[in-house]
Amino acid sequence: MKIIVLANHKGGCAKTTTSMSLAVTMASAGSRVLAIDLDQQGNLSASLGADLQELEETRLTSYRLMLDEKRDFSDYLIKVRPRLDLIPACLDSDAEALLEGQSVSRELLLKQKLAAAHPAYDFCVIDTPPSLRTPTLSALAMSDLTIVPIESSMFALLGLGQLLRTISKVRRAHAPDMQLMALSTMYTSRQNLDKGIREKVLEKFTEDFVFRTTIPRTVQVGQATATLQTIMETAPESAAAFAFRKLVAEIFEVLGYEQEREAASKRNSR
């Protein structure tokens, strides 16, 4: 199971939209995917069909999983699409406080809990909250590929230095093989401002570490969000849906996944 984390403590840069679109695209193309919502706003959970009110009662959420010493991750799964399972999140400030209060290696709790999930999935996509606290650090500590979505607007680059320093620290401590890539989101190629921001991103990350694919700003994405659906389902032929499919192909390339699959199918055919 390869773990893909969407991280940027800036809100509104399309972490959730990207997480959801990647998870749905990968699952519909045949991969077995586990999506994890680590944002207590529960946007990813609601968009994939979880009932947030019910969750407040059952408390079968990602935060409670990290604190659970008895039950297995599989007790927390919701089947949301064919081949796509979700571990959801909802508002639960007690769980958040308990998690921050754990005295020993709290950022490794999720990694430990999900060790058993590896054989069951090809990919795990983790959506993180707009902060650099324990939930985000937990995701980074187990990440194979961290994607930093950067929206094409003023202020998008503010605070990026702090984010990159935090990612580097977690990488050194827990995930030495993690790859880090930036993604331009809400991008309009005709606008000079957007082009200028992308140039700065290319400078900061260097070209090799920025996805060639850009995600266009389109009204259909907003409409899909408003109806708790994904662009793949509401407008599969739109430019944004096309971009997300291209992004998945690029992610496979970055992770060496196509080669791995080809090698496996060659082995099997022998």
Interacting residue ranges for Mg ion, rule: CB under 5 A:
15-16, 43
Give the one entry of Mg ion, ligand ADP, none that residue 221 binds, where binding means its C-beta sits below a cut-off of 5 to 8 angstroms depending on kind: ligand ADP
Q: Using an 8 Å Cβ cutoff, are 141 and 173 in contact?
A: yes
What Rg value do the Cα atoms of the chain yield, rounded? Answer: 18
Selected range binding ligand ADP among 8-16, 27-35, 99-107, 249-257, rule: CB under 6 A: 8-16
Binding mask 176-205 for ligand ADP (x = CB under 6 A): ---------xx-------------------
4, 16, 37, 62: which one contacts ligand ADP (CB under 6 A)? 16
Q: Using an 8 Å Cβ cutoff, are 20 and 47 in contact?
A: yes
Order of strands, edge to edge, in the sheet holding 2-6? 78-81, 84-87, 33-37, 123-127, 2-6, 145-151, 179-185
* Residue sitting closest to Mg ion (CB): 16
152 binds ligand ADP (CB under 6 A): no
Interatomic CA distance for residues 153 and 168, integer angstroms: 25
Q: Which amino acid is at 129?
A: P
Instruction: Report which of 148, 119, 114 is spatially closest to residue 35, judged by C-alpha positions.
Output: 114
Structure tokens at 254: 């970055």
125 binds ligand ADP (CB under 6 A): no
134, 218, 230, 238: which one contacts ligand ADP (CB under 6 A)? 218
22 binds ligand ADP (CB under 6 A): no
Which lies closer to Mg ion via its Cβ, residue 134 or residue 252? 134
Q: Report, in Å, the least distance between residue 160 CB and ligand ADP.
A: 14
Interatomic CA distance for residues 256 and 7, integer angstroms: 21
Q: Report, in Å, the least distance between residue 248 CB and ligand ADP.
A: 16
215 binds ligand ADP (CB under 6 A): yes
DSSP state of 190: T
- DSSP state string for 123-188: EEEEE--SS-SHHHHHHHHT-SEEEEEEESSTTTTTTHHHHHHHHHHHHHHH-TT-EEEEEEESB-
Which lies closer to ligand ADP via its Cβ, residue 146 or residue 174? 146
* Count of all residues that appear for the chain in the document: 270
Q: Report, in Å, the least distance between residue 133 CB and Mg ion.
A: 15
Q: Is 6 helix (H, G, I), strand (E, B) or coil?
A: strand
84, 221, 232, 247: which one contacts ligand ADP (CB under 6 A)? 221
9, 174, 217, 245: which one contacts ligand ADP (CB under 6 A)? 217
Q: Report, in Å, the least distance between residue 105 CB and Mg ion.
A: 26
Give the one entry of ligand ADP, Mg ion, none that residue 183 binds, where binding means its C-beta sits below a cut-off of 5 to 8 angstroms depending on kind: none
Q: Report, in Å, the least distance between residue 39 CB and Mg ion.
A: 5
Secondary structure of 251-267 as H, E, C letters? HHHHHCHHHHHHHHHHH
**Binding footprint of ligand ADP on the chain (CB under 6 A):** 11-17, 43, 185-186, 215, 217-218, 221-222, 225, 240
